[in-house]
């Protein structure tokens, strides 16, 4: 009999509930930064809040109060939330270069010829699995600047072409994402380029902090949208993680806003690239790497080295770290794409859908009762998910949705007889 990876591996982080005010959160997310990020993004031509989708029928099926999906697949027609971080980091970098410590630039001033004349020629560089590089390329194009984007050898052609569409040069590195990060840094140092990375390292923390701050615009939007339904805040957030920047932005936002009364947070990453779960298992408060090919369909999460500043935030604020095999993400993609009657259709890529899959396995299967109990998932739960990307790799998307690639093992396939826990 074939043995399959279980859909969920997890570890609790009870220390997070003992921390009402995290110094790591206060360092990365100072007072006023959420409003500053939102103010900047609202000036971008074409900006509008991404929709918050209500999966009420699925919530009823899973016996929870509500499932709310922040759908970033339509963000500025870029198919991903990543542009929020890249654009805000570039904005903050230009402000710093101009010495504007106490005043903001408008978007029009940022992209003006007068600003370009003051800052001179700049080439931006970064490593990416696709979406972050596309966001940086988009930002560079708005400033009429050059961009050199590094991708690893398994990056799909569709993701490369999407980056090149904004005029960036794409360089393929013979290695994984973490190798691409190192190569981008080496070449940037040699050529005098400016790295705009969503991960941090010794001596490089300002820009990754700005990237995370930029991501919080979608959470500010989500709070406004939830308030319109009478919900003060979600009770639970399931958020995906690669290096941890999106997850830290999410937990940092809610910790800043609500302190000890923040939502219960579950961070989900690929089983083949579980650097955050691995770090939590070691439990010494430090980030730890995992090595290897990091082969997973969740390309945007295929990272073996946590961002240290993101990890510091997560260690203080995450209630459970979860890792899932690829079939969990594939299940999420199919459920989004073939919704229950009354629920909206959502296009979600592999990295965008894993949190829905993780939620369903947690709620549906008795063997994960301990996780469900630890996070307090029940009929009053209002759960926020982030669909972080749309269909960014059309060929593989069709393989999953049309052909059933990465199907769930027989023992974990849905049937009416599956025990749903109350």
Q: Where in the sequence numbering do the catalytic residues fall? A: 82, 129
**Strands 66-71, 146-152: parallel, antiparallel or unpaired by DSSP?**
unpaired
Identify the bridge partners of residue 12 per DSSP, sorted by sequence position.
320
Rounded Cα distance between 7 and 360, Å, is 10
Give the H or E element holding residue 239: strand 236-240
- Report whether 347 contacts 389 (CB < 8 A): no
Give the closest residue to 309 by CA, choosing from 11, 28, 91: 28
Rounded to whole angstroms, the Cα distance separating 346 from 402 reads 15
Tell me how far apart the alpha carbons of residues 132 and 168 are, in angstroms, rounded to a whole number: 13
> Are residues 350 and 299 in contact, defined by beta-carbon separation less than 8 angstroms?
yes
Report the greatest alpha carbon distance in the chain.
69
Q: In what order do the strands lie in the sheet with 9-12?
A: 9-12, 320-324, 264-270, 236-240, 382-387, 66-71, 52-54
CB of 104 closer than 8 Å to CB of 40: yes
Coil, helix or strand for 128? strand
């Amino acid at each position: 009999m074939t043995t399959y990876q279980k859909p969920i591996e997890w570890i609790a982080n009870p220390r997070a509930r003992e921390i009402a005010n995290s110094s790591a959160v206060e360092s990365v997310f100072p007072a006023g930064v959420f409003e500053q990020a939102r103010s900047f993004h609202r000036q971008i031509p074409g900006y509008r809040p991404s929709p918050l989708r209500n999966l009420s029928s699925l919530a009823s099926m899973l016996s929870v109060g509500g499932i709310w999906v922040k759908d970033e697949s339509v963000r500025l027609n870029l198919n991903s939330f990543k542009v929020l971080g890249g654009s805000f980091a570039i904005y903050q970098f230009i402000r710093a270069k101009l010495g504007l410590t106490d005043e903001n630039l408008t978007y029009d001033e940022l992209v003006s010829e007068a600003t370009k004349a003051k800052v001179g020629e700049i080439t931006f560089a970064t490593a990416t699995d696709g979406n972050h590089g596309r966001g940086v390329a988009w930002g560079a194009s708005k400033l009429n600047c050059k961009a050199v984007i590094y991708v690893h050898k398994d990056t799909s052609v569709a993701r490369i072409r999407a980056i090149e569409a904004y005029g960036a040069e794409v360089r393929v590195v013979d290695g994984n994402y973490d190798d691409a990060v190192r190569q981008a840094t080496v070449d940037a140092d040699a050529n005098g380029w400016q790295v705009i990375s969503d991960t941090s390292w010794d001596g490089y923390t300002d820009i990754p902090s700005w990237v995370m701050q930029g991501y919080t615009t979608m959470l500010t939007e989500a709070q406004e949208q939830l308030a319109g339904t009478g919900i003060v805040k979600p009770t639970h957030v399931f958020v995906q993680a690669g290096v941890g920047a999106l997850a830290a932005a999410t937990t940092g936002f809610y910790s800043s806003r609500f302190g000890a009364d923040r939502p219960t947070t579950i961070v989900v990453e690929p089983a083949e690239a579980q650097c955050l779960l691995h770090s939590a298992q070691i439990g010494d408060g430090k980030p730890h790497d995992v090595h290897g090919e990091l082969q997973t369909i969740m390309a945007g999460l295929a990272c073996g080295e946590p961002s240290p500043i993101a990890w510091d935030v997560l260690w203080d604020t995450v209630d459970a770290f979860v890792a899932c095999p690829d079939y969990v993400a594939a299940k999420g993609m199919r459920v989004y794409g073939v919704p229950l009657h009354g629920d909206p259709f959502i296009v979600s890529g592999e990295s965008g859908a894993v949190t829905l899959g993780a939620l369903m396995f947690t709620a549906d299967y008795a063997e994960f009762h301990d996780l469900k109990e630890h996070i307090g998932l029940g009929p009053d739960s209002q759960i926020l998910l982030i669909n972080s990307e749309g269909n960014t790799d059309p060929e593989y998307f069709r393989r999953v949705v049309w052909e059933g690639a990465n199907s769930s093992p027989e023992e974990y396939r849905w049937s009416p007889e599956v025990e749903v826990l109350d």
